[in-house]
Amino acid sequence: MRRTKALAAAATGAALLTVAACGGSDGPGEGGDGGEFEEAGETIDKDPDRQGPAPDIEGAQEGGTITVYLPDDPGPEDLDPTNGWSVTGNSIQQALTHRSLTQYARDPESGEMILVPDLAEDLGQANDDFTEWTFTIREDATWETGDPITAEEVAWGIERSFDSDTFPSGPGTEYTEHFFEGAEEYDGPYSDPKAAESFDGVTFDNDARTVTIKMSTTFPDMDYWGAFMAMGPAPLGKESDPPAYGAMPLSNGPYKVESFRPSEELVLVRNDEWIPESDPARHQYADKWVFNFAADPTQTDELMLSGNTESQTSMSASITSENYQNFRDTLGDRLVQQSAQCTSFLSPDYTKIKEIEVRKAIAYAYDYESIWNASGEVPGVTRVPANSIMPPGMSGKSDYQVDGEQITFDPEKAKELLAEAGYEDGYDIHMAYATGSPTTEAAQEQLKRGFEEAGFNVTEYPVPIETSLYTIWTDPDNKINKKLNLRGVNWCSDWPSGLTMLPSLLRTGATYNTAFFSEEEIDAEFEEIPTLPVEDQPAAWGELDQRIAEEYYPIIPTAFRNDLFAFGEKIGNPTGDGALGAPNYKDLYVAP
């Protein structure tokens, strides 16, 4: 899933540089005032039988307004569920306004996220080889108008996701296009209205209340994909025509849109037509939600730290590292660390850096903590050392260590490895970095210093910060890209299956395979694992992750990402959503 934060956009390119692992320092004053956080919910279970209403949160009250600040984050451009693939937009709309086939619920005891039904009565029924999925739509779910949601409307909403040209930034461009039958020929109802009449990849039966989706290939993860709001209903006919629908979509969750100004503000108010009994995971505690997009980070920090009346019912989706200490002292438990299910990588060019020793030497030459620190992260908090390709929270994630223990900055070891590979006199590294931001420049400075200490010679190619490094890394004809032998990539999972991580990064020819890794036997595994029995898949992905690292070490995981959320004094149940890497909007309330 994409992160649309302005900073992250800059940092995505930079993020690779930005990101690295820290080797848990143990300096003086260890455990002073506890920088330890409880790991927020990680693994994801399924509970196909859960039904509404959602169990009450202990101590929760109705009423009040919750104000959410999203520093440096412009938020979604429109609210059309089919177009929503950003963490910010999805986390808000899925939790509060837009329902889909399935959804996640947070287990209050373990903090784990559980996949539960939403508009569907269960998590869907698949045929034996997972090429056809049928969802039964529950009877009592309603629109904000009070009209019931029909199977036809759900099928129509799913059919809209075939239209990549109309919804270019929607998740359908990836998953609908790759897994649904007919996606290759059918361009979607708006781009190809003639074919829409005869299209039968998504069918419905209004009387039996079922929606049936045919897959072009084995797709056992449809229940996870169903948790995207793009897999939800849309009103039939002209009412849902883009782009007007994106400005004021019809809600069906516990809240409806009162007003929306892109990059500025979104105001949600209670939807009185929402029936709690129809929804297994959402609550309707607060009367009103106000989301402030693109807030000023420093001002937001000041507000959250001030503890005044306004800040008590406010929360912020990120804080700056320069105020981390203040937040920890002032907010205590109300500063929540949430794993974002993302891994950052360095990608040595597999066609140019052929020796595994050199790739490992790069891993030892990367000065994890210093680079994080320079790029404005809090080492060990917002960035933690990574051991595997799959981030924590994914089913089957293996805790292997490719060299027996966590790789940390160790220039001597890097030199030894280089010598083993026959490069006693140094090794030339060519890499691009974003210039024009003090953050990325400072990080690059630290990276270069570490590399040089470890015996590498670094040639840097500055790229203006406005240009995402990905446009260079993913363009084979780019003249800078041709010179590079070290790139990077920053990847977040869309659901907790290795399917959304490993093939996207390491399949031959995959767009974000910036290492240009290509091994036939690994490609074969990518094809084979989705055909295994569902219960064996997580372990298989975990084993494959380990096998790739031990045999090839093609990409160097530098860090797992965490986000920090700051909650005001009167926000009840301050928690994060481990499935999306966002605040847990579903379960928040305003305490009296």
Q: Tell me which residues touch another protein (CB under 8 A).
A: 22, 25-36, 297-298, 302, 320-326, 367, 369-370, 372-376, 378-381, 435-439, 441-442, 445-446, 448-450, 461-467, 479-480, 483
Nearer to another protein, 219 or 327 (CB): 327
DSSP alpha helices (H): ranges in 274-323?
Answer: 297-306, 309-312
Give least dist CB 112 to another protein, A. Answer: 24
Nearer to another protein, 484 or 489 (CB): 484
Nearer to another protein, 217 or 321 (CB): 321
Nearer to another protein, 324 or 553 (CB): 324
Nearer to another protein, 409 or 553 (CB): 409
Give least dist CB 25 to another protein, A. Answer: 4
Distance CA 388, CA 262 (A): 37
Measured in whole angstroms, the distance separating CA 320 from the mean position of its chain's CA atoms is: 20
Give least dist CB 448 to another protein, A. Answer: 7
Residue 590 bridge partners (DSSP):
571
Distance CA 498, CA 80 (A): 28
* Cα separations in angstroms, 103 against 46, 276, 277, 506: 10, 15, 15, 29
Give least dist CB 283 to another protein, A. Answer: 33
Distance CA 41, CA 112 (A): 4
Count CB neighbours of 84 within 10 A.
29
Distance CA 65, CA 515 (A): 48
Nearer to another protein, 28 or 509 (CB): 28
Give least dist CB 567 to another protein, A. Answer: 19
Give least dist CB 321 to another protein, A. Answer: 5
Nearer to another protein, 35 or 108 (CB): 35
Q: Which two tokens stand for residue 101?
A: 């086939």
Give least dist CB 82 to another protein, A. Answer: 34
Give least dist CB 23 to another protein, A. Answer: 10
* Cα separations in angstroms, 56 against 48, 224, 284, 576: 19, 25, 10, 17
Of 537, 548, 539, 497, nearest to 345 (Cα)? 548
Peptide bond into 189 cis (omega under 30): no
Give least dist CB 348 to another protein, A. Answer: 20
Of 349, 305, 341, nearest to 323 (Cα)? 305
Nearer to another protein, 251 or 481 (CB): 481
Distance CA 9, CA 5 (A): 6
Nearer to another protein, 271 or 300 (CB): 300
* Beta strands 314-316 and 556-567, pairing class: antiparallel
Give least dist CB 351 to another protein, A. Answer: 20
Nearer to another protein, 239 or 322 (CB): 322
Give least dist CB 406 to another protein, A. Answer: 16
Backbone angles phi, psi at 443, to 5 degrees: -65, -40
Count CB neighbours of 405 within 10 A.
9
Give least dist CB 316 to another protein, A. Answer: 15
3-state secondary structure 533-589: CHHHHHHHHHHHHHHHHHHCCCCEEEEEEEEEEEECCCEECCCEECCCCEECHHHCE
Following DSSP, what letter does each residue of 498-539 receive, concatenated? GGGTHHHHHSTT-TT-TT----HHHHHHHHHGGGS-GGGHHH
Nearer to another protein, 55 or 436 (CB): 436
Nearer to another protein, 30 or 399 (CB): 30
Distance CA 385, CA 281 (A): 33
Backbone angles phi, psi at 309, to 5 degrees: -55, -40
Of 69, 237, 255, nearest to 156 (Cα)? 237
